A and B are shown apart, each in its own frame.
Chain A
Amino acid sequence: MGISMWIRVYAIFVKELKQLSRDKMTFGMIIMIPLVQLMLFGYAINTDARHIPVGLVDLSQTSESRAVEHALVATQSVDFIARYRSIKDAEVAITKGEIRAVLYLPADMTRRLFNHPLYDHKQIDSPLTLPIGQWIVDGSDTVIASTIRALRNMPLDEVANHTTIRTAPSFEVVQYFNPEQRTVVNIVPGLVAVILTMTMILFTSSAIVREHEHGNMEFLITTPVRPMELMIGKIAPYVLVGLSQVAIILSVGHWVFSVPIKGSLLSLLGGSILFIFASLTLGLVLSTIAKTQLQAMQMTIFILLPSILLSGFMFPYDAMPVAAQWIAEALPVTHFMRMIRAIALRDASLLLLGKDALWLGLFTIGGIIIASLRFKKKLG
């Protein structure tokens, strides 16, 4: 009894692998999805905005106003790509999207500068203190807006051409792990989580639904195959698929984007396997609901969007409202996102991440129970 069960599981496993290797499209996707996404996100996503195209309205036209401009360019945050004679012209350019912000330096800028505490610390909190200029920003992109906002307290020592006494900072910030503050370091491990979510759920859910759609299930049901055997045999190949995707993303991330892999490979493997199992069982549950491959695809997208937006991949988990955090906690990807970033970037061990690991394990067991209860060996 036991032996013939494993013969059947193995037969389904081999069959699925053969079909997978012959489905050139799917096979290509397994390798191309991680590579293309990695290149895209690695190069494109950058939350620290630099070289923002901005305009300048300089009514002062003095050597001081040119010094302010140079000081701003030196921060690399903005590039002055156009000059305008009036605020009106500049606003039109912002509306058209030619520039993202404009710096307005009033005619009396020089006087304001001399009275400014950051320029000359003699008159602190004088009633004569006025900002030396004004930024008008296209606030629709919050990343750009906050980059410009950060210029509010820009030191003016370069403009002053002498060292001003700066007030001591309230906090000192020491950057652990990612001192250069490169976004890609955080993105690559996160990408492992997002891509695995997408491929694992989609492949398993459609793998089972496909048997229904192509009519294979009608024959299979009349054979001695049991639901559990079918499920194990069908998802086992995708564990291999998932692990190779983890390997592709992390090694390309390591060699192309110099993302450090600090943790042990064993923790990495353990964490990945836990997450792959959790995602596969989620796919299995979906396959018992979906009737067609298209429906399976739609359900995958339904899961995928919150996985990208709420898991901490795009936005910091801690900054989300509590309700969103609850939803995020329910998704396996949130736990894996924490785990893989901790393991890859901070050399955490699996033991240190016991809570997340346990949750993924429980999710898998629950998913298998639900899937096999729902998977009837009947048609219709």
Chain B
Amino acid sequence: MTSNASEQIEYAIEATGLTKRFGDNIAVNKLDLNIPKGSIYGFLGPNGCGKSTSIRLLTGLLEASEGDVTILGKPLLGHEESLKKRIGYMTQKFSLYDNLTVKENLDFVGAIYGFAGKRKKSRIEELLALYDLEKQAKQFAGSMSGGQKQRLALACATLHSPELLFLDEPTSAVDPENRREFWERLFDLCAAGTTILVSTHYMDEAERCHALAIMEDGNKRADGSPQALMDAMPATVVEVSGNKLRQLKQTLTQHPEILSAAQIGAHLRVLIKKKVLDPLGFISELSDGRETILARPSLEDVFVTCTGGRHGD
């Protein structure tokens, strides 16, 4: 990306040095973000790595210990209230009312965002149809399935057509089929111009994002588009097949040039540092003539490479 082009990019979220401490525990450490408008951006990382805390900082829910945030071109500090009309937030935990029906929940959220009368009615009908909740309209939210709850939460978070949407692990309680459907809706929203920030610990979901940040212990370990991350990965992937792979794994992981070895089905997937010039030969030598082939890197490989203390060099 040339500096010329980047000047024209409008950012929905800009953050520099964003830090949040809870006592001695640093939940988010010097996070820098530049998320272009109209894109889907992912936070990928295990539980406790600071995804929710980062989102809470960016929505103004939590006060940052340090750092600056600009949301939709306005500094967050001092503009929290006016920005609230322009952002939507779907919390990790279901945050609507279990003992209200789907329709009542939507009615409530609609009124909160200043919708009334015909305008509210037609918007709610539109959302019920879009998120396939028409049959559940009179059902209590608490009695719905994970997928239905999640669609209701998304409907509520997007009721006021926000320009920027935060989704905190939206699909963690949802089956794969519903997850695919859900992502279709996200791409629809994105096509309509909404910027989406979504956190996840699923690799396949992260792969659908335009760009993502890999997070660990409050630090951003790497960021970029999935393809760029895979291309820039400082490791080569070799797949070894044969017998006694568990034993081979033991010997391989002790080698300093080898970042990781993980058994996947009948293969051993080995990540070797880029500085090893002939990775195939290197592995063949170590694995007593078992079959070795070069493999395409996956996002998981990127994740493994840059976390767990392996990101250093």
Contacts and interface: CB of A to CB of B under 8 A. Distances in A.
A64 to B, nearest CB: 75
B99 to A, nearest CB: 5
Nearest to B87: A222
Given A7-B111, A378-B62, A224 B95 contact: no
Nearest to A1: B114
Interface in B76-91: 80-81, 84-85, 87-89, 91
Contacts of B11: none
A215 B114 contact: no
B95 A219 contact: yes
A23 interface: yes
B100 A219 contact: no
Nearest to B159: A223
Given A221-B61, A222-B89, A379-B56, A23 B99 contact: yes
B113 A224 contact: yes
A215 B91 CA distance: 9
A15 B104 contact: yes
B59 A222 contact: yes
Interface residues on A, range: 20 to 34
B96 interface: yes
B95 A380 contact: no
Residue picked from B56, B62, B104, B111, most chain A C-beta under 10 Å: B111
B113 A223 contact: yes
B183 interface: no
A224 B91 CA distance: 16
Interface in B46-98: 56, 59-63, 80-81, 84-85, 87-89, 91, 93-98
A155 to B, nearest CB: 67
B116 interface: yes
B97 A224 contact: no
Given A222-B89, A224-B84, A18 B104 contact: yes
Contacts of B94: 215
Contacts of B88: 222
A271 B116 CA distance: 36
A216 interface: yes
A380 B62 contact: yes
Given A223-B84, A223-B113, A215 B93 contact: yes
B87 A224 contact: no
Contacts of B22: 380
Contacts of A12: 108, 112
A7 B114 contact: yes
Interface string A187-217: 0000000000000000000000000001111
A98 interface: no
B114 A223 contact: no
B304 interface: no
A239 interface: no
A18 B100 contact: yes
A11 B112 contact: yes
B109 interface: yes
Nearest to A223: B112
Contacts of A19: 97, 99-100
Contact of A216 (B62, B97, B104, B114): B97
Interface in A1-17: 4, 7-8, 10-12, 14-15
A337 to B, nearest CB: 36
Interface in A333-380: 377-380
A10 B22 CA distance: 37
Contacts of A222: 59-61, 84, 87-89
A224 B62 contact: no
Contact of A224 (B60, B85, B89): B85
Interface in B20-63: 22, 56, 59-63
A96 interface: no
Contacts of A218: 56, 61, 89, 91, 93, 95
A136 interface: no
A204 B93 CA distance: 24
A3 B296 CA distance: 59
A85 interface: no
Interface in B97-146: 97-100, 104, 107-109, 111-114, 116
Contacts of A162: none
Nearest to A219: B95
A43 B63 CA distance: 56
A22 interface: yes
Contacts of A216: 95-97
B2 to A, nearest CB: 36
A4 B104 contact: no
Nearest to B61: A379
A22 B99 CA distance: 7
Nearest to B63: A378
Contacts of B61: 218, 221-222, 378-379
A217 B93 CA distance: 11
Contacts of B114: 4, 7-8, 224
Nearest to A4: B114
B81 A379 contact: no
Nearest to B116: A7
Contacts of B100: 15, 18-19
B104 A10 contact: no
A52 interface: no
13 contacts: A11-B107, A15-B104, A15-B108, A19-B100, A23-B99, A215-B94, A218-B91, A218-B93, A220-B112, A221-B61, A224-B84, A224-B85, A380-B62
Given A18-B99, A23-B99, 9 more contacts: A7-B114, A11-B111, A12-B112, A18-B100, A19-B100, A214-B95, A222-B60, A223-B109, A380-B62
